[in-house]
Chain A
């Protein structure tokens, strides 16, 4: 008994001497997998439905840019893709207008809805690209526009009181129209794609593919793919961003066989075999836009809209935007208040 009280006395004395250590907040341990112990249904998988409902309510933004020389059918193709008059062709521009002397950027937005899903679609057209006699640096206004959108988003993100949903005007996808010469890529094509594949997702398409026979098409595509590879141009889907084996195999197939898509666009309907389908009527037959035997429009549409739309947005946000942001912050010496890093950066700048 005596001993006990002595111990207590010592303990009490010690606790007076040593101040109570500040409790360090616990950090979660590595997760323990407990698949096998689940008995009965919890309902965790309902989160998928919950998430889906929320996203349907907020809607989606999608911004697509079309680049290519005049007359390659850019506006028609975009209209065909979204089955409505979304391009500038329908917003007051007429064919008799003069080709602009410089590259202009025209963005037109629409709201379209399908199956309860609302999408704010913006089509960014670039009239004047590649149309001058001297086309040097004609990609610069486009690059500038793309970077301006990143800048706008960054400014919003960096605000103290931020909006609940930052409006997304960044270009998610850039369709580059290649002239169906049948030979190879033009120097302008290569220069543009070299510069811009680092800032935006580029999807090269071969325009007006109805001018080539099947053999010519295959050969041309092979040559284009080869040239892109030789010049180190990474078009979407970029090899380095394949997340897992599944993605890789799927994307490899697209990259090595289907792309660049040889497309034909049309917004006129014709009667073929009792059905009304989109097509182009020629003296020698009707070219069916959505017929895979005739052209690869359906592949492009499925690729861009039905399977990879979300991925296009994610690559833009997680990779291109982050690259821009990192470069921008580095140029300014870093963004506070990460004190450790600020000092690091100051050291390098001093």
Chain B
């Protein structure tokens, strides 16, 4: 049965005008409703030295006290600690995961400091990839653990980036959206801050570090994103303590010489960070992670395993063909291994048989030997017995002969002895 399929090319798509209200303008709402009922995932990675204020900043950003004990400086290596929380605001449920780098920057030898971080990020990508490649998969309710934003905490030295910072950021920029921030910004004076920021940005550019670009393609957010980008890296101050300023309580740090207000844009860039990270670009951060960083990881991983989209003649390969080839290869290898094993088994059996045969032969020989020895012994004993018997018979003969002689002699001599005896007896009497 022939099937004719007519489908116009994309550019032939006609734009039609509607003659009335159809109602599909509710589509975005339908989509959003579905996502709202499922809840959203957002995962932040905080990279920075111990004591630089990562936990405090998270507390300040999310207006909550996430319980955690401050880390010590004695960690032998960098390890990542992830904690998940469920936050709710109006009807939006957010599954927030905050990953902390414990022990970063504390070791004497920091060569490998970046490795656990890269490993963690890759592990989350790998988990997603595995789920995606499963036959029976459930992506729509998969708990996404991939890192959507990496806040890199720069120490407020006032000079420039540390080499550890550059190395780490360079290793992370192709894997995660990096947002650099200057921590504990209340230790830098305003004029120094400006110089510091420029130095940092120029160092990032000259070292080719790709930090996250706030999107400017959509009209509604382009303006605010462009304005905020100018202030990168954001110089933040975190605080969960509240101080009375004027007639209300606000988050601040109280010093003898004054009060640093966290939410005052003249004092620090905390508000800008919150705007950019949460209120404007949270969805874009998630999307970039999925469409850029994850796709890159996936591509590299699959290529690493030997899969290509096109063969050497650049004709498109289907993953299926590659797969079939690999599968046949694998099956062939399995068969070979099976053969090898079988052969080895046969050989071993033969060896064992030979051994056993040897042992049997030995045993037989021993037995024969013993038998012979036994027979010899027996013969010897028999010979001896014969000898003995002969001797005995000789002796008996001799005895018989002697007895005869004796009896003859006795008879002949008995008269004599009688006479002698009488004589003797006569004497004794």
Contact = CB atoms under 8 A, between A and B. Distances in A.
A10 interface: no
Given A83-B18, A115-B25, A305-B24, A34 B31 contact: no
Interface in B26-40: 26-32, 34-37, 40
Contact of B135 (A42, A117, A161, A329): A329
Interface string A321-339: 0100110011011111110
B218 interface: yes
A141 B84 contact: no
A53 B58 CA distance: 27
Contact of A336 (B14, B16, B305): B305
Interface stretch (B191-199, B322-330, B418-426): B322-330
Contact of B27 (A54, A60, A346): A60
A7 to B, nearest CB: 15
A117 B81 contact: no
A230 interface: no
A282 interface: no
A114 B24 contact: yes
Contact of A85 (B16, B83, B275): B16
A307 B90 CA distance: 22
Interface stretch (A102-110, A172-180, A194-202, A219-227): A102-110
B266 interface: no
A14 to B, nearest CB: 13
Interface stretch (B278-286, B347-355, B408-416): B278-286
B429 interface: no
A28 B14 contact: no
Given A43-B278, A51-B32, A28 B1 contact: no
A114 B8 CA distance: 23
Chain A CB within 10 A, most for which of B4, B23, B92, B291: B23
B133 A28 contact: no
B135 A310 contact: no
A32 B23 contact: no
A33 B133 CA distance: 32
**Chain B contact surface mostly:** mixed
A84 B16 contact: yes
Nearest to B277: A43
A26 B120 contact: yes
Interface in B277-327: 278-284, 287, 291, 295, 298-299, 301-303, 305, 307-309, 318-320, 323-324, 326-327
Contacts of A39: 63-64
A1 B33 CA distance: 68
Q: Bin the interface of chain A by size.
A: 35 or more
A35 B63 CA distance: 11
Nearest to A84: B16
A26 B79 contact: yes
Interface string A121-132: 000000000000
Interface stretch (A152-160, A181-189, A206-214, A254-262): A152-160
A111 B283 contact: no
Given A84-B17, A111-B13, A28 B83 contact: yes
Interface in A134-179: 137-138, 140-141, 144-145, 155, 158-162, 164
B84 A30 contact: yes
A330 B135 contact: yes
A52 interface: yes
Contact of A160 (B24, B32, B65, B303): B303
Interface string A287-326: 0000000000000011001111111001000100010011
B302 A160 contact: yes
A250 interface: no
Nearest to A169: B7
Interface stretch (B94-102, B231-239, B253-261): B94-102
Given A35-B88, A160-B299, 18 more contacts: A25-B116, A25-B123, A34-B86, A37-B63, A38-B89, A51-B283, A53-B220, A55-B32, A119-B27, A160-B307, A301-B22, A305-B24, A305-B26, A306-B26, A308-B30, A309-B24, A309-B30, A346-B330
Interface of B: 1-8, 13-32, 34-37, 40, 43, 61-66, 76-92, 94-95, 97, 99, 116, 119-120, 123, 130, 133-137, 139-140, 145, 218, 220-221, 274-275, 278-284, 287, 291, 295, 298-299, 301-303, 305, 307-309, 318-320, 323-324, 326-327, 330-331, 334
24 contacts: A23-B78, A28-B145, A31-B85, A44-B282, A45-B92, A50-B283, A51-B32, A53-B218, A57-B218, A83-B21, A83-B22, A85-B16, A105-B4, A109-B13, A111-B15, A145-B3, A301-B23, A302-B23, A310-B27, A322-B137, A332-B320, A336-B307, A338-B130, A341-B134
Please give me the 6 A-B residue pairs with the lowest Cβ-Cβ distance, nearest first: A115-B25, A310-B30, A50-B283, A43-B279, A31-B84, A306-B23
